[in-house]
Amino acid sequence: MNNFENLEIWKLAREICNDVWYFMQNTSLREDYSLKNQMNASSGSIMDNIAEGFERNGNKEFLQFLSVAKASCGELRSQLHRCLDRKHIEKEEFDRVFSKTIMEGKKIGAFMAYLKKSERKGSKYDQ
């Protein structure tokens, strides 16, 4: 694996980010500026922290960034509830994206567990 775009967790994060963008463009969320900006930031944070951590080339740093990505996933789940409660999205839309965030959190957690057990500490340590 030589770039973050090949990671399943990054691909799913991108999909979630696009789902949020769809809500921002096509629902009344576009007029709820504070919530819209928070959801844009948290969904982007999932993607971006996976990418940045990967590019650090060390498991310790990667784990740190994955932890932030996982936390952003939880933050987005809370924001999705607010989005639903304010009637910006329908229950079906909420359920679809919410389930993706649950899956993403689990996948990030599993990947973190794998990295913690890995003998390989990252390419920056290869000599």
Taking alpha carbons only, the member of 51, 52, 56 closest to residue 11 is: 51
3-state SS, residue 86: coil
Domain residue ranges of the chain, discontinuous segments joined by +? 4-117
Q: What is the pLDDT of residues 77-124, one digit of tens each?
A: 999 999 999 999 999 999 999 999 999 999 999 999 999 998 777 666
CATH superfamily of 4-117: 23S rRNA-intervening sequence (1.20.1440.60)
Q: What is the pLDDT of residues 34-50, one digit of tens each?
A: 999 999 999 999 999 99
Rg (CA), the chain: 16
**Which tokens is 119 given?**
């003998």
Is residue 108 within 8 A of residue 77, CB to CB? The reply is: no
Task: Return d(Cα 92, Cα 84) in angstroms, integer.
Answer: 10
> Can you give the pTM of this predicted structure?
0.91
**Which tokens is 124 given?**
């920056």
